[in-house]
């Protein structure tokens, strides 16, 4: 154990500046070389014109034929809800397919030895989180992988003296190092990761968040997963879950949601060969391919989701890996809303970026994956935005039963609406229950029945994200960790 190598030098005036090797790296390579693939310009002029024209057309329709417009809008939304419900059915059903998730038993891992494991780069971006540093160093040290094959980089911001000092003071294994990220705009996690990617020495690469606790055999499983998969599989995504699920009701709902997303829906999508919106951490890559794709988009606040789509566009596939990284669920409502706002804003960014040339996207992804993309990236955002209107309408109908609401639902639309009411809402709650059951977190299942309240929080964040997308597209609302102790 030694003090870590820190990629920075002392400037003659005494201040810390990055090493030339770091400062020469272009973390905005994607935005500079392929601006059409970057969210550096959130909405293009053509998109602005299209949105404006649509708004004018909508306004005219509302003025000229308000009832017909409302009926048409409701009919389209009902069609979307119905499609979305059936889509969820299909995805969950696919999740039971043997190809949904790659799993390796302890025996299979043990049978690999003795063997030469490849160098595995691990990136840990951190910002003002000195308290989680020692936990992270311990977790990475304990990973069941040869120490000399681990290439760990802690990516610390230049102005984060607290964490830098803590890192300098800490004894770390020789293969651990600290890379200081120069101050520049935008200050986002993907920008830091791009610098880490350029300096990565490993054949494979993974990202962990500061508070992550990956399962010990995760790296070996990832290597084995790449080895048994086809060459076009360039990313394997581990499952994420929370160690503080019992802290309060928010963490319980959050855990239920994550269990459903990572244990059911993403495996289902993988089995269907769909574009996968990657989780923010514990995604393992083939380093060379990721470098060729110019890493992450530094301007996108859900760079992971965007990268998942770009992998799909480039003809690569992502698979799910049966191993879990334990994280800390945000337990404070204010921070939860900020985190969710960022995620939803990122989804909106990603949708606009890739929809700049829809036909090209269709050609690159294919019809089926294009549909997946619309349902996963556009659909999720669209539903959180329109949900409050339909809840309000249902509530008004339940309580006052005015004739006006019934007039908005002509025959077939009423039936489809009844189908969504009968089934749609229930499917989404039931999927969460299922996720908890699969995770063997039975005590959370009763709490999952209250998920509709969680949807209200999601819709609030969705609208906040929508407004923020136009006002402050690049603002990164950082999640505060360490608010609840480990369970």
Please say which residue, 62 or 437, places its beta carbon nearer to other proteins: 437
Residue from 87, 371, 391, 397 that binds other proteins (CB under 8 A)? 397
Strands 150-157 and 16-18: unpaired
Tell which residue, 276, 363, 330, has the closest CA to residue 94: 276
Q: How far apart are CA 325 and CA 306, in angstroms?
A: 21
Q: Cβ of residue 415: shortest distance to other proteins, in angstroms? A: 5
Residue from 185, 389, 422, 470 that binds other proteins (CB under 8 A)? 422
Do 469 and 302 meet the contact criterion of CB atoms below 8 Å apart? no
Residue from 115, 411, 453, 485 that binds other proteins (CB under 8 A)? 411
Please say which residue, 185 or 446, places its beta carbon nearer to other proteins: 446
Please say which residue, 56 or 421, places its beta carbon nearer to other proteins: 421
Do 358 and 373 meet the contact criterion of CB atoms below 8 Å apart? no
70 binds other proteins, rule: CB under 8 A = no
Q: Which two tokens stand for residue 309?
A: 């789509």
446 binds other proteins, rule: CB under 8 A = yes
Give me Rg for the CA atoms of the chain: 23
Q: How far apart are CA 301 and CA 349, in angstroms?
A: 8
Q: Which two tokens stand for residue 72?
A: 């048409």
Residue from 185, 389, 426, 470 that binds other proteins (CB under 8 A)? 426
How many whole angstroms from its chain centre is CA 74?
A: 30
Residue from 440, 453, 471, 485 that binds other proteins (CB under 8 A)? 440
Strands 317-327 and 101-102: parallel
Q: Cβ of residue 412: shortest distance to other proteins, in angstroms? A: 5
Q: Which two tokens stand for residue 302?
A: 């859900």
418 binds other proteins, rule: CB under 8 A = yes
Tell which residue, 294, 299, 298, 257, has the closest CA to residue 279: 257
Other residues' Cβ atoms within 10 Å of the Cβ of residue 230? 7
Q: Cβ of residue 301: shortest distance to other proteins, in angstroms? A: 35
Please say which residue, 124 or 433, places its beta carbon nearer to other proteins: 433
Q: Which two tokens stand for residue 382?
A: 């669209």
Q: Which two tokens stand for residue 291?
A: 């470098």
412 binds other proteins, rule: CB under 8 A = yes
Please say which residue, 421 or 487, places its beta carbon nearer to other proteins: 421
185 binds other proteins, rule: CB under 8 A = no
Do 126 and 165 meet the contact criterion of CB atoms below 8 Å apart? no
- Site residues for other proteins, window 75-114 (CB under 8 A)? 96
Please say which residue, 205 or 433, places its beta carbon nearer to other proteins: 433
Burial label, 463 (beta-carbon count in 10 A; 0-12, 13-18, 19+): middle
437 binds other proteins, rule: CB under 8 A = yes
The count of chain residues that interact with other proteins, using the rule CB under 8 A, is 25
Please say which residue, 58 or 396, places its beta carbon nearer to other proteins: 396
414 binds other proteins, rule: CB under 8 A = yes
Residue from 7, 433, 458, 465 that binds other proteins (CB under 8 A)? 433
Do 144 and 216 meet the contact criterion of CB atoms below 8 Å apart? yes
Q: How far apart are CA 268 and CA 96, in angstroms?
A: 7
Stretch that binds other proteins, among 118-126, 216-224, 242-250, 394-402 (CB under 8 A): 394-402
Q: Cβ of residue 79: shortest distance to other proteins, in angstroms? A: 12
400 binds other proteins, rule: CB under 8 A = no
Contact footprint for other proteins (CB under 8 A): 96, 397-398, 401, 409-412, 414-415, 418-419, 421-422, 426, 430, 433-434, 436-438, 440, 442, 445-446
């Amino acid at each position: 154990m030694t003090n870590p190598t820190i990629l920075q030098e002392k400037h003659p005036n005494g201040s810390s500046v990055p090493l030339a090797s770091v400062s020469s790296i272009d973390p905005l390579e994607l935005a500079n070389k392929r601006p059409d693939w970057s969210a550096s310009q959130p909405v293009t002029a053509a998109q602005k014109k299209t949105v404006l024209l649509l708004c004018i057309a909508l306004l005219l329709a509302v003025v000229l034929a308000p009832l017909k417009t409302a009926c048409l809008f409701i009919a389209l939304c009902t069609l979307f809800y119905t499609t979305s419900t059936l889509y969820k059915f299909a995805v969950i059903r696919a999740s039971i397919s043997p190809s949904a998730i790659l799993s390796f038993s302890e025996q299979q891992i043990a049978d690999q030895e003795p063997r030469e494991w490849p160098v595995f780069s691990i990136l840990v971006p951190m910002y003002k989180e000195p308290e989680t540093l020692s936990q992270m160093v311990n977790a990475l040290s304990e990973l069941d992988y040869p120490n000399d094959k681990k290439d760990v980089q802690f990516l610390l911001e230049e102005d984060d003296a607290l964490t830098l000092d803590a890192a300098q003071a800490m004894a770390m294994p020789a293969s651990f190092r600290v890379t200081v990220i120069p101050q520049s705009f935008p200050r986002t996690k993907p920008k830091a990761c791009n610098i880490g990617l350029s300096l990565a020495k490993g054949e494979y690469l993974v990202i962990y968040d500061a508070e992550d606790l990956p399962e010990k055999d995760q790296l070996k499983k990832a290597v084995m997963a790449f080895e048994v998969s086809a060459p076009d599989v360039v990313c394997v995504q581990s499952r994420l879950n929370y160690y503080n699920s019992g802290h309060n009701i928010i963490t319980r709902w959050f855990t239920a949601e994550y269990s459903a997303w990572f244990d059911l829906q993403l495996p289902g999508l993988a089995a269907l060969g769909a574009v996968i919106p990657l989780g923010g951490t514990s995604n393992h890559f083939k380093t060379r391919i990721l470098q060729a794709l110019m890493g992450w988009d530094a301007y996108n606040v859900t760079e992971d989701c965007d990268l998942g789509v770009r992998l799909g566009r480039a003809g690569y596939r992502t698979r799910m890996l049966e191993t879990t990284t334990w994280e800390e669920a945000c337990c404070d409502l204010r921070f939860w809303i900020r985190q969710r706002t960022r995620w939803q804003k990122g989804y909106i960014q990603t949708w606009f970026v890739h929809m700049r040339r829809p036909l090209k996207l269709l050609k690159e992804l294919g019809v089926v994956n294009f549909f997946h993309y619309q349902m996963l990236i556009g659909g999720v955002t669209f539903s959180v935005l329109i949900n409050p209107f339909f809840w309000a309408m249902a509530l008004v109908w339940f309580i006052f039963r005015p004739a006006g609401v019934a007039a908005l639902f002509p025959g077939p639309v009423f039936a489809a609406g009844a189908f969504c009411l009968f089934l749609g809402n229930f499917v989404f709650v039931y999927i969460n229950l299922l996720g908890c059951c699969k995770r063997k977190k039975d005590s959370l299942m009763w709490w999952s029945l209250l998920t509709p309240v969680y949807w209200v929080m999601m819709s609030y964040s969705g609208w906040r994200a929508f407004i923020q997308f136009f006002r402050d597209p690049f603002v990164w609302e950082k999640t505060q960790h360490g608010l609840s102790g480990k369970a």
